[in-house]
Every structure is written in C-alpha cells, then in structure tokens.
Chains A and B, each alone.
Chain A
C-alpha cells in the first residue's frame, strides 16, 4: 500500500522508523526538538529528549560529537540546518569524517548520517541559500546523496542510517518548503546509493540533473518537445558514488550531454561529469558538454538578483540548444 506524503514527511518517517527499528539510532542537531523546517518535528514526543538531542550552535563541535558517538557504535543522524553551515564543520567533514576508517586501518567505522538543507529562492540571502555539494566531493570516504522526491528521500535516508559509512543527505529547501508530494509505500524499503533514475526517456540530448533541478530539467524537456527535441532527463540521486553506467547508456544513445546543478559552476558536479565524459567516451559526443550551474557570484538579498542567479528551465533550454 502506498499513500501520498510530502518530502518533509518522508524524511520524518524515515527517521522515526529507523529509530523504532534500532535503539542505537538517534537524532541530534540545532533545534531538532522543535525543528525549524519540520523534518524532525514530533520525534521528541515518541522517542524522548535523550534520543532527540538539541545541541549548542557549534557546527564543527557537534559534528565531532556525532562522529565520536558513531565510532562508539551508535548511529546518529545529525542535522546541520543549512548547507552553508557545513562550512563551519569542514575540519571534521573533510579532514576526519571520511578518512577515519582508512587511517585506523578499518579498526573504527563511522556510521554517521548528516542531513543538511540547501538551495536558494527563499529570499534568505547569501549565507542561507547556497548549494555547496561540490565542496564536499573532494573528501574521500564520504557518500553524498540528494533526493528529489518523497519516495527517494525516504529510501535514501533509511539506507544512509543503515550504512556503516558516513553519508551526507542533501535536502533541497524548495522541496521541503514547496510541499512537494509523492507516492511512498507504507512498507519498509531502502534505495541503493549510486543508482540514478531516468525521469523522462528521450533520444536527442541527455540532461543529467541534481536534486530540485530535476524539475527544472523536466520543464525544459517539455518546452523543447514542442520544438521537436526529445530530451532524456536523468535524476542523479547520488553524487558520490555516481551512476556512471546510466550516464554512459544515455549518452551512448543521444551523443549529447547537459549537466544541471544549483551550485556554482567552477569545479562543480557538472565539471566532474564533463571530465568523466570527455575522458571515458569522448568519441560518443556529437557536441561539447554543456554545464548549467550558478555563476561565480554570491547570492544577493534582492529577489530580482536571486532569480537571475538561479539556473532554471530557460537556462537549461538554451544549454540544450547549444548542443544541437
């Protein structure tokens, strides 16, 4: 049986179910008892304050504390409220979290899940709006996933909590606040990391999108269909590991590739995919890879400037046309 729930409810259900299933799972972070955006709302009523732990405002230190609890065999789910705030925890995230298992020769594992909300469009200004996924892809030993539907959100978060490796789950604020709804089964399920999904099949151009940008890509595909261009839209779902097979199969068919992310262009996810494509199947490409991403500027407080900053359906349409 499945029913329709919101993105935020899916995340909430994933945490509640895993906390019921495993007494070692607990939630910690700033204001998680009240929950600023609602993902952890109500958990404290069922699981009590000990397992829904409000922390001081100290991102690097609470990340370290969650790591310590995880290396002692618990399975914390840490919330770093805004992705911008992960930059305060970069020491733990990039120097320690993903490297601990290797440096200790496998003596210690860190089964830690970190949830963080990204994205602009909420008129929150420069330091509460960024998508900084590409800052984290350089760190070894981490998994990074970004769901775009309630079904994926629940399945990926549950898989993250059960994983013995550290996983960062990126949650787009537009999906949380936008009240995006979708079908989610009542039965227990998880989704594997590293599996992209084709949201729309097409034969002319491959558009590989991350998170919320999948919806913009689908909008672009619809607009382009009216011009007779048949776009295939891939929702990557998992940034590390990346589903290279699905990307390859699609480009083998279309010969054209456009990447779409909300983060900035320089050294971004699109740059990684473009390098992969040119290094591994250059001969399949009929046109240069196009990257759709945010420009290398801060996010302004002005709604007009914020809208100009963001990649959208129209910028994707233009990028697709450049490949034709």
Chain B
C-alpha cells in the first residue's frame, strides 16, 4: 500500500469520523437528548474502516451493533445514521430501524438483533451473487463473541461447499459483551475454525490500518476471483464498555491503558505525520471539519419530523396495509 497516500488519508479521515460520531452519541445520551443506547467500538476503528475500505459500492456488507465503523466505512452518510438513530421519518428505514442500520443504495441489507442470525443470511446474498453471475462480494463482519453461535458452522460450511464469494471478517476485541473472551473460548484465536471447512484464513494486527486494509483487500480479491470464501481475524481491543452506561467493572485497567497506547487513530496519525502526508495544522483542520460535519448532521436530525400513525402499518407487506 506504499505510495497510496490518498487511500491512507481517506481511511484516517473515516476513522476520526467514526470516533467523533460515537463520542457525540455518548455525549447526547449523557445529556439526555437522545434515547438510543449505544454500543461503541472505540479502539476498533482500524478494523471497521479497514475491512470496508477495499469494498465497492455494489459489494454487500453485514455489520454489527458495535458502533458505526463499518457503516461509515461503507459510505453511509452521518445524517442518515442520526435520522435512523433518532427514529425519524426520513431515515433510510423511515424510523423503523433504530440501531439496525440499512442502506439499500450502499448494499447494506440490514442489521439483525439476534447475534449471528445474519451469518447464514450473508451466505444467501453471496449465493445469489454467484447464481446471478455478478462479481459482487459479501463481507460478513462479526465479533468473536457471535462466532460461538451455532449457525457460524453451517454458514462457513455452505460458503465453502458452494465456493461462494464471501469474506468472513472476525473482529476479535477481547470482550464478549460483559465477559472476557477467555470466558467464552478455550482457544486464543477464532480463525483456525475456518480450516475445518477448508477456508483459508489469516490473523492480523487490528490496530494498524495498513494491515487491516491490505489483508481484507487480498481476501476480497480472493473471493471476487471465484476462489470461494476467506476468513480474516483482526486482533484489537474494545476501549469502550459493552453499552453506554456499563461501568465496566470487569475491565482490567492496566490492560486498557496498555492497549490505549496503541490507539489505532493515534498510530495512523503518527504514521501520516512521519511520512509527511499530513501536517499538525492540517490534522487540526481536518478534525474540526469532521466534528462540524457530525454536529450539522445531528442538528438536521433533531429538526427532522417523526413518523406518524400512517407509518405504523406501512411496509409490513408489499401490498397495502397489515393483516390482523
């Protein structure tokens, strides 16, 4: 990726946007201005942004509850995210989605509530791409906690059996909700499970945006080339607690501090400064601009109308009305 300064700068910009979106969400919650609980991905931005970086608009993304990283990475507009989070009528889901983001234009088919339900749904979109002969890739982004759902196995099995264009991107952030990964796993890694289905896999440093991007680019290329699925596991650390309001009494503070020194945004910033891609002054301006963009999107969403009774019964079926 050397020489691709523009890509690196764009990824850096997206990581900051993700961080600022989530910090703003947290602040609005604490101020009592919004009601939607947040599950933040602080510290994981190089994974969420790195895995979506190599995707094309027509590629299909399934994301997670943890923050907005992969959705911003796939190109969702901050304004649409706030409209959805605030349940407004003009959101992409017309106020129906809430935390469950969906954006058809960017091929984000939705976000499930029961963790891991979409493992197989993602296999289905990849199956359709193969049957239709498109060169779309489905990227299934998932946390290590969810990989213990039973459906992970038949999903990987079907993907390999039918040689589908799908990349399984496992974000191992050391926590499974309110527990440490070691309470859920007898192993340190998730990725070797892929070997059971003859799916090639790789484990990479999730704090380094160049590495997350490059590993995903290779995996996506593999899948797009008709070679079947690929699994990449990214090792990172959830610097936020499970949900806004979770005091994180179970978190080892020394460990948090240690990982904090490898904050992916800080690492990327240092790299950009060192390589002369970005100056201190440009960085300041960039950050101010991004915060202004977030604030503007928040304001616009606050001012937008709520859905009404006419929306309550809409879109249950493709025809008019609802069946009681």
Interface residues of chain A, those whose CB is within 8 Å of chain B, are: 26, 50, 53, 55-56, 58, 60-74, 91-92, 95-96, 98, 100-109, 140-141, 143, 163-165, 194, 240-241
Contact = CB atoms under 8 A, between A and B. Distances in A.
A104 B110 contact: yes
Given A105-B91, A105-B92, A61 B112 contact: no
Contacts of B103: 107
A208 B153 CA distance: 44
Nearest to A26: B131
B93 A107 contact: yes
Contact of B120 (A62, A141, A164): A62
Contacts of A98: 316
A101 B318 contact: yes
A241 B319 CA distance: 13
B122 A68 contact: yes
A156 B100 CA distance: 34
Given A64-B123, A66-B124, A70-B124, A108 B110 contact: yes
A104 B150 CA distance: 26
Given A58-B154, A64-B118, A72-B125, A105 B131 contact: no
B30 interface: no
A104 B158 contact: no
A52 to B, nearest CB: 12
A140 B117 contact: no
Interface in B123-171: 123-129, 131-132, 150-151, 153-155, 157-158, 161-162
B151 A60 contact: yes
Given A60-B151, A101-B315, A102-B316, A68 B124 contact: yes
25 contacts: A56-B158, A56-B161, A58-B154, A61-B155, A62-B120, A64-B118, A64-B120, A67-B120, A68-B127, A69-B124, A72-B124, A72-B132, A73-B132, A91-B114, A95-B113, A96-B112, A103-B97, A104-B93, A104-B97, A104-B104, A104-B110, A106-B314, A106-B315, A143-B323, A241-B323
Interface string B82-114: 000000000111111100101110000110111
Most chain B CB atoms below 10 A, which of A64, A70, A103, A240: A64
Chain B: interface size category: 35 or more
Contacts of A108: 102, 104, 109-110
Given A68-B127, A101-B318, A103-B96, A74 B120 contact: no
B119 interface: yes
Interface of B: 60, 91-97, 100, 102-104, 109-110, 112-114, 117-129, 131-132, 150-151, 153-155, 157-158, 161-162, 314-319, 322-323
Contacts of B91: 105
Contacts of B155: 61, 64-65
Contact of A95 (B60, B114, B154): B114
B48 to A, nearest CB: 21
A278 to B, nearest CB: 15
A64 B94 contact: no
Nearest to B125: A68
A109 B318 CA distance: 7
A105 B123 CA distance: 23
Contacts of B153: 58
B154 A61 contact: yes
A40 B277 CA distance: 62
Contacts of B316: 98, 101-102, 140-141
A67 B104 contact: no
Nearest to A65: B124
Contacts of B94: 105-106
B121 A64 contact: yes
Given A96-B117, A108-B110, A165-B317, A102 B124 contact: no
